[in-house]
Chain A
Amino acid sequence: MYRFAVYGKGGIGKSTTCTALSCAFAEKGLKVLQVGCDPKADSTLYLHNGERITPILEVLREKRSRAQLDDLVHEGYNGIMCAESGGPMPGLGCAGRGIAAAFEALRERDAFEILQPDVVIYDVLGDVVCGGFAMPIREGYADHVLIVTSGENMAVYAAANIACAIENFRERGYASLAGVVLNRRNVPNEQEKVEELCGEIRSEIVCDLPRDNRVAQAEESRKPVMEMFPGIPYADEIRRLADYMLTLPEGEDE
């Protein structure tokens, strides 16, 4: 089982990248599980024609321990299995604890053993701000982390912070950094800035996604870009990234 966590600054295109990757893996005939780890619960939106699936925490609030695995995981475009942790209303509760609770709910229901995905992708909110947001990279979840960034300064700073957290947790047996995804915003010196970041965090650009308005156009149509524009350079680069990810070591569920 290949297990990846995708981090990056808010709004940088993590969910779009994750969704496109899920589609690319599904095209190869692989069984994919995409888990959104954000209270907004919008990671898998375009795998369900723009319809929101019920987040895990919402199901747990209603059904408590009676919630079944089927209530938590929903099949979307091309058989991709989708789950959203969800979380509290803005300004209330504890979003980090929420993610941890959602993960525990999947684990308690033997989700990985029953669903047997070939690839699991965790799409994680912005930054590793507390223990809950580090859950996806802890032992037993993701094995590899991808950081999505553009050349914008705030995105680069966020990427550096995330890499720092991953490095700090290395001795605990956490996931390791598998590379940086450059999601271009076409800012000046974009390539150089991200290469400089990679030098500092001892990583490399493993994917260079071109700026393409058709990505936004697909989202306007509530479709994955891989479905609507399967032949564009963006889609080819996503497929190349998927190929690279499958060269990384697989993890084993306990």
Chain B
Amino acid sequence: MGNWHTHVFTSTYTADVSGVCSALYELGGMTVLHDPSGCNSTYTTHDEPRWYDSDSLMFISGLDEMTAVLGDDSVIIRDVVRAAKDLKPRFITLCGASIPHIIAFDYRGVARLIEKETGIPVLPVATDGLKSYVSGAGLAMKEWIRRFAERKAEKIPGRINLLGVTPVDFSRQENADAMKKVFTDAGYSVRVFAMGETFENLQEAYQAECNVVVSSAGRNPAQYMYKTGKIPFVEGVPCGEQMAERILQAVKTGTNQYVCDDYDPEGKILVIGEEIFAKSLASVLKGKPLYPDIDEGLDEDLLLQEMEKAEMIIADPLFRYGRRGNAVFIPFPHEGYSGRLFRKDIPVFAGKEFDIERYIREKK
């Protein structure tokens, strides 16, 4: 990544704070985004398909200039304590955007003070609003596991966790269910972090004999659990029968495996998207994955060059505007990139039933 990073023809992925909110949405907590405002509406109106169907306690602190300049933490402490006493959430998560980051807001210290006053566990998740959702979701999952998962739980044979499952990457509950089915059909019991799963079930995360990392947001918690619980991880999205079988085989090895790393770096089919998804699909198609702007970034001019060389591009519809040359464009919407714009067109792409060749034929 250069010292500058521009987007002329392409969009950007959603920010880390949306990742935090999305990862913890269903777990009965209260998420407080420390920010003047703005970041919350991006999340609620664009990145969260569950917003109108199920409740979750998402708050913005309404940080103002003088409070920030004076470092007056008493304002957010007072407001969160008051809200928590009314709403009695199971836990509180404190994250924030760029202004608290710039003034080196003390997430841990403030979390400790709120926890002391309310008696409710507070998770400090020091996001900065500058990174992508991958970072935020990963930090939030890791912090939740660190705080709530029973680390000394005994391993249960045949238990696995799916890590990195949020609507930002998978949008529809059907995708989460289809991934789960791949493993339950093979005799495993599965915990999904965190769509359609309960707080109590996820507390059992350390019972797993393997973590399957289905998006790059799952890497941070997977590495943490590997370090703290010696649980190996396997990276890959079971998008179709071939990938599902390869992941199932990899899980059996009991070691860390990256099953989607055999793509063709010179492939003419370009798959653009979240890293593990793009690599998984590219592996099946013998294509080339590109994962621009997820934390590390990829300069747009390099991205456009790659798009020009490709014969086929599979990507979110917003990438269509970066297409050069005569490549066939296959739209594959991604909530983390285009938000709700193409939500209705997001397919069920997880599970053995998904057939990318058929999808391509239908979308051509």
Query: A residues engaging B (CB < 8 A)?
Result: 61, 64-65, 94, 96-97, 99-100, 130-132, 134-135, 138-140, 169, 171-174
Extra 13 A-B pairs, beta carbons < 8 Å, given A61-B3, A97-B102, A97-B104 = A65-B295, A100-B104, A131-B71, A131-B103, A131-B104, A131-B106, A132-B104, A138-B108, A169-B109, A172-B106, A173-B109, A173-B112, A174-B109
**Contact present for B108 and A131 (CB under 8 Å):** no
Given A64-B1, A65-B296, A172-B113, A135 and B108 contact (CB-CB distance below 8 Å): no
Q: Which residue of B lies closest to A103 (CB)?
A: B104
Task: State how many angstroms separate the Cβ of A64 from the closest Cβ of chain B.
Answer: 6
**Contact present for B104 and A171 (CB under 8 Å):** no
Query: Is residue B90 contacting chain A, with contact meaning CB distance below 8 A?
Result: no
Chain B residues near A94: list those with CB within 8 A.
Answer: 102
Number of A-B contacts (CB under 8 A): 48
**Contact present for A65 and B108 (CB under 8 Å):** no
> CB within 8 A of A173: which of B1, B3, B103, B108?
B108
**8 cross-chain pairs, A with B, having the tightest CB-CB distances, nearest first:** A172-B109, A131-B104, A100-B104, A132-B104, A139-B108, A173-B112, A172-B112, A131-B103
Query: Is residue B85 contacting chain A, with contact meaning CB distance below 8 A?
Result: no
Query: B residues engaging A (CB < 8 A)?
Result: 1, 3, 71, 101-106, 108-110, 112-113, 116, 295-296
* Measured CA separation A173–B113 after assembly (Å): 9
* Measured CA separation A139–B107 after assembly (Å): 10
> CB within 8 A of A140: which of B101, B102, B108?
B108
Task: State how many angstroms separate the Cβ of B226 from the closest Cβ of chain A.
Answer: 13
Chain B residues near A131: list those with CB within 8 A.
Answer: 71, 103-106
Chain A residues near B104: list those with CB within 8 A.
Answer: 96-97, 99-100, 130-132, 134-135
Chain B residues near A140: list those with CB within 8 A.
Answer: 108
Chain A residues near B113: list those with CB within 8 A.
Answer: 171-172
* Measured CA separation A135–B101 after assembly (Å): 12
Q: Which residue of B lies closest to A104 (CB)?
A: B126
Task: State how many angstroms separate the Cβ of A145 from the closest Cβ of chain B.
Answer: 15
Q: Which residue of B lies closest to A66 (CB)?
A: B1
* Measured CA separation A130–B101 after assembly (Å): 13
Task: State how many angstroms separate the Cβ of B145 from the closest Cβ of chain A.
Answer: 13
* Measured CA separation A158–B320 after assembly (Å): 60
Q: Which residue of A lies closest to B111 (CB)?
A: A172
Chain B residues near A173: list those with CB within 8 A.
Answer: 108-109, 112
Chain B residues near A174: list those with CB within 8 A.
Answer: 109
Most chain B CB within a 10 A radius of its CB, from A131, A135, A138: A131
